[in-house]
Amino acid sequence: MTLFLVGYMGSGKSVIGSKLADVLGYNYIDLDDYIEEKEASTIKLIFKKKGEIYFRKIESIYLKELIGVNNTVISLGGGTPCYGNNMDLILESEKSLSVYLKALIPTLADRLYVERFKRPLIAHLETQSELIEFIGKHIFERAPYYEQSSIKIKTDDLEINEIVDRLVLELF
């Protein structure tokens, strides 16, 4: 089985994905890291030099490469399920399961504010209130895609191990 973790940036997909893979004895892949390796460039530079449209195209190509990879947890970028037919590809794969790591906007803003310069979509935002407004608009647009996931876990106020434990219980 391939487990795809979806959710907004800052929801914990990478940290939880890595820990969940360890617990399950699965391989772990962060789609952004996979893209950086394949493109020999950082996501930030890809956005800067080639733009978001190029990024979304290659993101879909690399996602298709990973669908159906057995015994693997894959953390997707926050926008991955929302572009092209990416979410449909995940949902239609018989060997895949999607998990939505859901966090409230204030939680996401607190997590993201200190690291916003590492993330191309929010690097330009200067204040916490600008970030909250940006996240709110994005969540409104993206939630319909995220909500299609087979499993939904609210991550606010939970430790990483608690989230992983809940996921394991949901899976088995």
Residue 75's DSSP bridge partners are 5, 30
For residue 163, what pLDDT is reported? Answer: 96
Contact 76, 5 (CB under 8 A): yes
Rounded distance between C-alpha atoms, residue 121 and residue 79, angstroms: 10
Average pLDDT over residues 66-82: 94
The DSSP symbol for 31 reads H
Average pLDDT over residues 153-172: 93
pLDDT in tens, 42-69: 988 998 899 989 999 999 999 999 998 9
pTM exceeds 0.75: yes
Which CATH superfamily hosts domain 2-157? P-loop containing nucleotide triphosphate hydrolases (3.40.50.300)
| Edge-to-edge order in the sheet of strand 27-30 | 27-30, 72-75, 2-6, 96-102, 151-154
Percentage of the chain with pLDDT > 90?
84
Q: Is the pLDDT of residue 70 over 80?
A: yes
Q: For all residues of the chain together, what is the average pLDDT?
A: 94
For the chain, the domains span: 2-157
pLDDT in tens, 82-138: 999 999 999 999 889 999 999 999 999 999 998 888 887 888 899 999 999 999 999
